[in-house]
């Protein structure tokens, strides 16, 4: 059966590439003015941009993509873009150009969010109906962007006042969500969104992890007030709050797991724009808290952690120059275990890290002789924690050449620093990771990045071709090598679980995008290597990073049959990720002890998944749009490996892959826009 669906995937991709460019493949809009006729083709794809520019994803068209349990998630579909790591079912992170997900800046209206995962990585905290678009930068080659080594993903609130009061809602088997846009007058509006889950009501008998039942619920709330006193100014008051609660009972290990995590964000924004001058100011608060609670045999174990930020940012633009500054106050509580057992209790005090981050930047961007685009900038940062301080000066440089017939060629270089680390257990389905600051022992991360990209429009703009080469050197990298069971039986010391070293990423990304016609979508291929070298006597070689997938082929194909019917198929085939396999097992005092072999010397099976979505709109009027969506997640029924784990069966043990129990996740939801 898997071969059948693989053939279907390949056939869909071929259909995308060779679909004939007939007259009905575009929509023409014409007008007559003094015998001059203007004809333009309508762009039907929700994806704008290419690999050398900012990719913009229109959130109003997210409903055309396959939904996971009734939710169309922007972060999930960002994984289908070239150069972005495909993740397993229990991991929603974005690994961009070989970097870790913690290297990315993920934000709401420019305010950072420190965890965006819902439901074991199936989708994120972003309710797409609340936002205008998602801006996606694979590598932020501008000094304006924050201190991160990876990509930049920003969920944008609309700049305009709605023409009328309206909204939309969706009711599905997992959750219900809704957005209301209230127009007060021509100067102000309020956008309110809410989403709540009732997962176990319908999916309780299906949702399992390695045959163990999962109890789960979550909620999201958004509040955005927009005030535009005139065409030059905009005031935005933005608020987000979200929380997750998960429980897992493992009958074999007699383990009860509870995990609670959540984000809160509040921001005040003032934007001003005129013909010659513009500025953007924001004052914000953002926080993330996580509490991991585990009962194992006669032990009770907790792993609390948190991060709170207070910040200000100002960006000014005059002519070709952009300049400004940023101030962030970090208050971080890294992971500090609390252990109770029949032998003894271990309570570790919270190691509170209070730090200050000051940055200023200047950027110059100009187009010479109509086809040569030049950008140069520098960002300076002063970071202070306790009696330790760090300074950095990060230059950026890009040169672009554009010709209507030949396309657009862009060469880029940047140096970046990052002062926050994220460590902890991965691939668990529940976020057990935590943030911690640069210190005397953990120097700030930094990178040197190079890229060469080429973009070209084909067949009068109906198709777009993008090619990108990249190379990155990473310094002061950390990799977490701890095991949850180690914390039960050994004294906790964060230093013993962290490997320090360097990284090297390189690869090529190719994307063919069809933007016009009834049939739209894209096909992408990525080849990427991500290596790490550690300063440890037991790790003497160069090793692949935990998230490395060498080859990835992904495709999105959408077809609009009529005003009432449309369908979309997404597919991905990718190499398996590395993992470290145990060499020996021991049973000591009824406790399993593992002795591991060479680091990341093994790989999981290749990853394959296809999703399908069908929309039927039975009411399609100017002010009312209602219909049903049928989606099948992993309709190819392929069981993908997540990781390997040890299990005990009747006084014997086995080492086997952990896989998501459900092969296919169906969803039928009702939607309405008014």
**What's the mean pLDDT when you consider all of the chain?**
83
Alpha-carbon distance 341 to 295, whole Å?
A: 10
Q: State mean pLDDT over 361-370.
A: 88
Options 1.10.10.1100, 2.40.170.20, 3.50.50.60, 3.40.50.300; CATH for 2-673 is 2.40.170.20
Number of residues assigned to the chain: 674
pLDDT in tens, 157-211: 988 899 899 999 988 877 888 999 999 999 999 999 999 887 766 665 555 555 5
pLDDT in tens, 154-166: 999 988 899 899 9
Question: What are the sequence ranges of the domains in the chain?
Answer: 2-673
pLDDT given for residue 455 in this prediction:
92
Q: State mean pLDDT over 288-313.
A: 85
User: Tokens standing for 227?
Assistant: 């005030």
* C-alpha to C-alpha distances, 628 to 102, 386, 615, 625, 665, nearest whole angstrom: 37, 56, 6, 11, 17
Among 110-119, 249-258, 311-320, 594-603, the range scoring the smallest mean pLDDT is 249-258
User: Tokens standing for 170?
Assistant: 């969706």
Alpha-carbon distance 517 to 19, whole Å?
A: 10
DSSP codes joined into one string, 618-670: EEE-SS-EEEEEEEEETTT----EEEEEEEEETTEEEEEEEEBS-S-EEEEEE
Q: What angle do CA 252, 254, 256 make, to 5 degrees?
A: 120
Parallel, antiparallel, or unpaired for β 233-250 and 175-183? unpaired
Which H/E stretch holds residue 517? none
225: pLDDT strictly greater than 90: yes
User: Tokens standing for 647?
Assistant: 């299990």
pLDDT given for residue 94 in this prediction:
85
Q: How confident is the model at residue 540 (pLDDT cuts 50, 70, 90)?
A: confident
Alpha-carbon distance 183 to 189, whole Å?
A: 4
DSSP codes joined into one string, 157-206: PPSS--SS-EEEEEE-SSEEEEEEEEE-SSSEEEEEEEEEE-HHHHHTTT
């Amino acid at each position: 059966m898997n071969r059948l669906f693989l053939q279907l995937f390949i056939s869909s991709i071929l259909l995308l590439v060779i679909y004939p460019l007939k007259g009905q493949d575009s929509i023409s809009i014409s007008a007559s003015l003094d015998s001059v006729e203007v004809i333009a083709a309508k762009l039907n794809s929700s994806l704008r941009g290419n690999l050398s520019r900012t990719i913009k994803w229109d959130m109003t068209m997210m409903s055309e993509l396959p939904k996971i349990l009734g939710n169309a998630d922007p972060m999930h579909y960002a994984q289908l873009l070239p150069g972005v790591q495909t993740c397993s079912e229990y991991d929603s992170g974005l690994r961009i150009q070989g970097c870790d997900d913690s290297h990315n800046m993920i934000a709401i209206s420019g305010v950072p969010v420190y965890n965006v995962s819902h439901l074991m990585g199936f989708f994120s905290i972003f309710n797409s109906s609340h936002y205008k678009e998602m801006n996606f930068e694979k590598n932020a080659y501008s000094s304006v962007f924050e201190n991160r080594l990876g990509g930049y993903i920003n969920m944008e609130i609309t700049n305009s006042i709605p023409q009328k009061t309206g909204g939309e809602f969706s009711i599905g088997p997992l959750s219900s969500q809704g957005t209301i846009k209230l127009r007060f007058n021509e100067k102000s509006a309020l956008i309110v969104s809410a989403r709540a889950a009732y997962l176990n009501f319908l999916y309780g008998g299906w949702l399992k992890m390695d045959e163990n039942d999962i109890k789960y619920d979550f909620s999201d709330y958004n509040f955005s007030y927009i005030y535009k006193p005139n065409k030059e100014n905009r005031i935005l008051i933005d608020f987000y709050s979200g929380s997750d609660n998960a429980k897992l009972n493992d009958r074999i290990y007699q383990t009860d797991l509870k995990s609670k995590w959540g984000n809160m964000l509040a921001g005040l924004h003032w934007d001003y724009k005129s013909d010659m001058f513009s500025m953007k100011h924001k004052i914000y608060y953002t926080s993330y808290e996580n509490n991991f609670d585990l009962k194992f045999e006669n032990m009770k174990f907790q792993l609390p952690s948190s991060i709170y930020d207070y910040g200000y940012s100002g960006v000014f633009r005059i002519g070709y120059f952009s300049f400004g500054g940023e101030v962030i106050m970090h208050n971080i509580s890294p992971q500090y275990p609390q252990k109770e057992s029949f032998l003894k209790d271990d309570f570790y005090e919270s190691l509170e890290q209070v730090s200050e981050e000051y940055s200023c930047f200047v950027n110059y961007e100009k187009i010479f002789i109509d086809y040569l685009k030049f950008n140069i900038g520098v960002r300076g940062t002063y970071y202070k924690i306790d009696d330790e301080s760090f300074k950095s000066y990060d230059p950026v440089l890009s040169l672009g050449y554009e010709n209507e017939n030949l396309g657009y060629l862009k060469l880029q270089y940047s140096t970046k620093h990052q002062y926050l680390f994220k460590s902890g257990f991965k691939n668990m389905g529940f976020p057990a990771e935590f943030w911690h600051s640069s210190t005397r022992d953990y120097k700030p991360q930094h990178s040197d990045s190079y890229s060469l990209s080429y973009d070209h429009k084909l067949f009068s703009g109906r198709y777009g071709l993008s090619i990108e080469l990249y190379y990155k050197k990473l310094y002061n990298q950390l990799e977490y090598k701890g095991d949850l069971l180690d914390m039960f039986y050994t004294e906790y010391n964060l230093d013993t679980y962290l490997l320090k070293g360097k990284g090297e990423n390189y690869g090529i990304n190719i994307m063919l995008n069809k933007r016009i016609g009834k049939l739209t979508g894209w096909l992408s291929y990525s080849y990427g290597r991500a290596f790490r070298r550690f300063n440890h006597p037991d790790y003497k070689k160069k090793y692949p990073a935990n998230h490395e997938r060498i080859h990835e082929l992904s495709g999105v194909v959408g077809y609009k049959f009529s005003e009432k019917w449309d369908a979309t198929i997404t597919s991905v085939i990718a190499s398996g990720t590395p993992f470290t396999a145990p060499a020996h097992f021991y049973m000591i005092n009824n406790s399993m002890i593992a002795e591991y072999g060479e680091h990341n010397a093994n790989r999981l099976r290749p990853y394959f998944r296809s999703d399908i979505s069908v929309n039927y709109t039975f009411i399609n009027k100017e002010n009312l749009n209602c219909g049903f969506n049928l989606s099948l997640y992993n309709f190819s029924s392929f069981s993908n490996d997540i990781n390997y784990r040890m299990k005990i069966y009747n006084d014997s043990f086995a080492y086997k892959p952990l896989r998501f129990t459900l092969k296919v996740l169906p969803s039928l939801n009702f939607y309405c826009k008014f």
